[in-house]
Amino acid sequence: MKITWYGHAAFRLDFADKAVLIDPFFTGNPSFRSTVEEASRGVTHILLTHGHGDHIGDTLSLVEDAADASRTLPVVANPELCAYLSAKGAGNAPQMMNTGGKLDLGGFTVTMVRADHSSGGPAAPSEYLGNPTGLIVKAPGEPTVWHMADTDIFSDMALLCEIHAPKVVFIPIGDRFTMGPEVAALAVKRFLPGVEVVVPIHYGTFPILVPDASAFVEALKGHPVKVIVPESGGSFEV
């Protein structure tokens, strides 16, 4: 699997014949170093963790572009967010699911899991768009990936590891809206047994967030997990 980070919480997973975007916040993302065209080229699915604007990102325009090319670009999200996207012109692209459920997308599955956060609308934070979630992506012959999205630490992270056995985890460290670096490192040490690779996310995008991943990396020195800190637009293989 090839994993590309586009800054903040935006990722692309390439495996087999799939190209999956997660939380494609490109336009307006100060840490985005690619182009929308390049980041979305050949994309087959979009997965959304919750309704904040820095996670919905370019979803609607990407669905619109796909429709103009006479194809449907499936978007997986919670029911309230799916209804919001459909009302904004996404048509039948949204595919709803909810926390604890698993959806087979043909060649891979996605499971929605708990995240401790909120989920208001991109233009009106008071607009309820369902509960926030993390996402677990499983594909045959590939390492299981857990995108934690925006969350605080919680002890049931250990239970989710027992159930899903993720090998790669994208973990927020930016503080203020999520865990900070030290708490995220504690989550790795105490609640993520068996995880082989962690990638810090949701930092450095805006001045109110932790500016870099150095404190997270320092806090995990001596721990067997591999910490990968890609440049925005950078890719790595797992």
pLDDT of residue 52: 96
Question: What tokens does 189 get?
Answer: 């040490």
Distance CA 25, CA 40 (A): 11
Write down the domain spans for the chain. 2-237
Question: What 8-state DSSP symbol labels residue 1?
Answer: -
Beta carbons within 10 angstroms of residue 114's beta carbon: 18
Predicted model pTM: 0.98
Q: Distance between alpha carbon 121 and the CA centroid of its chain, in Å?
A: 17
Q: Which residues contact 169 (CB under 8 A, 6 or more apart)?
A: 145, 146, 148, 188, 192, 195, 197, 198, 199
Q: Distance between alpha carbon 159 and the CA centroid of its chain, in Å?
A: 20
Degrees (nearest 5) of the Cα angle 44, 49, 55? Answer: 85
Q: How confident is residue 232, by pLDDT bands cut at 50, 70 and 90? A: very high
Q: What is the mean pLDDT of residues 47-70?
A: 96
Nearest to 52 by CA among 172, 157, 140, 137: 172
Q: How confident is residue 124, by pLDDT bands cut at 50, 70 and 90? A: confident
* Dihedral angle of Cα 226, 232, 237, 238, to the nearest 10 degrees: 40
Angle between helices 181-191 and 157-164 (to 10 degrees): 50
Classify strands 133-138 and 94-96 as parallel, antiparallel or unpaired: unpaired
- CATH number for domain 2-237, candidates 2.40.30.40, 3.40.640.10, 3.10.180.10, 3.60.15.10: 3.60.15.10
> Residues in the chain, how many?
238
Summarize pLDDT for 146-186 with one digit per residue, the tens.
999 999 999 999 999 999 999 999 999 999 999 999 999 99
Question: What 8-state DSSP symbol labels residue 61?
Answer: H
Distance CA 57, CA 81 (A): 13
Q: How confident is residue 81, by pLDDT bands cut at 50, 70 and 90? A: very high
- Check if the beta carbon of residue 49 is closer than 8 Å to that of residue 10: no
Whose tokens are 């967010």? That residue is 81
**Between the CA of residue 172 and those of 84, 87, 99, 140, 146, what are the distances in Å?**
25, 30, 19, 26, 12
